[in-house]
Chains A and B, each alone.
Chain A
Amino acid sequence: AQKITQTQPGMFVQEKEAVTLDCTYDTSDPSYGLFWYKQPSSGEMIFLIYQGSYDQQNATEGRYSLNFQKARKSANLVISASQLGDSAMYFCAMREGEGGADGLTFGKGTHLIIQP
C-alpha cells in the first residue's frame, strides 16, 4: 500500500484563486511528520510547510496552510491567492517514527498550473 497518496496528477487554476492539493497518508506510528515541497521546472526542491502529528493547530506559512485532519489521515495543502509563480510540482512527504532518523517518503506529486 502506498504510504503517501496524491490523487491529483495535474490541476489548472485561475490566478488569484485558492488551491487545495490533496494528500492522504498511511501510518500506524503515533509519531510522524508531514511536509510539503515545491519543485519548479528548474528542479530544486523547496520546503513549504510542516505539520507534526502531535501539533494541535494547523500549520501556516504565509500563503500556505496545511489542513490537517488526523482521523482521516489527510494533510491537504492550501495555497491562498494563487500566483503565476506557484506553477510547479508539489510533493507531500512523511517522516515516520521518532524524528531524527529515517528519510522521507514522498507521494507522486501534483503538477499545478496557474493560468492568467
Chain B
Amino acid sequence: DSGVTQTPKHLITATGQRVTLRCSPRSGDLSVYWYQQSLDQGLQFLIQYYNGEERAKGNILERFSAQQFPDLHSELNLSSLELGDSALYFCASSPGRIEEETQYFGPGTRLLVL
C-alpha cells in the first residue's frame, strides 16, 4: 500500500458526460500528479499541483481540469467525455523536494466511457 488513495476504483459513464476523480496524497506529501494510462498512448503525465498551486502541465486536454484543495486532496474533472478517454487514471504524490522526489502511485481509477 503506497498510502495514496483514489476514488472511485471503477467508473462507467456515457459519452458527453462529466466525471470527477478524487485523490488523497500520502501524509505529508505536498505534490500531487495525475497520469493517464491507455493502450494507445501509454502512461502520460497530465498535471501537477504543489501545495494548492498548479506547478506543471503535461498532455492534459482542455476538457480536463484539476485542482488541489487546502487539505491537499486533489480532484481531476473530465468533461464532454469521449470514447477515447477510457483509460486508467493514476494519482501520485511526493514531498515535492528534489532530495525526496520519488512519486508514489495510488491504485488508479479505471474509467470506461460507453
A: residues with CB less than 8 A from B are 33, 35, 37, 43-47, 50, 91, 93, 95, 98-106, 108-109
- Tell me the count of chain B residues lying within 8 A, CB to CB, of chain A: 31
Q: Among B2, B35, B90, B103, which residue has the most Cβ atoms of chain A within 10 A?
A: B103
Chain A contacts of B107 at CB under 8 A? Answer: 43-44
29 interchain pairs, CB-CB under 8 A = A35-B102, A43-B88, A43-B108, A43-B110, A44-B2, A44-B106, A44-B108, A45-B90, A45-B105, A46-B105, A47-B102, A47-B104, A50-B101, A50-B102, A98-B98, A99-B97, A99-B98, A100-B31, A100-B50, A100-B55, A100-B101, A101-B48, A101-B55, A102-B48, A103-B33, A103-B46, A103-B56, A104-B33, A108-B42
Chain B contacts of A106 at CB under 8 A? Answer: 42-44
Chain B contacts of A93 at CB under 8 A? Answer: 43
Contact of B103 among A47, A105, A109 (CB under 8 A): A47
Rounded to whole Å, the gap between the CB of B56 and the closest CB of chain A is 5
- Shortest 10 CB-CB contacts between residues of A and residues of B: A103-B45, A99-B98, A45-B105, A106-B43, A99-B101, A102-B56, A101-B56, A44-B107, A100-B96, A103-B33
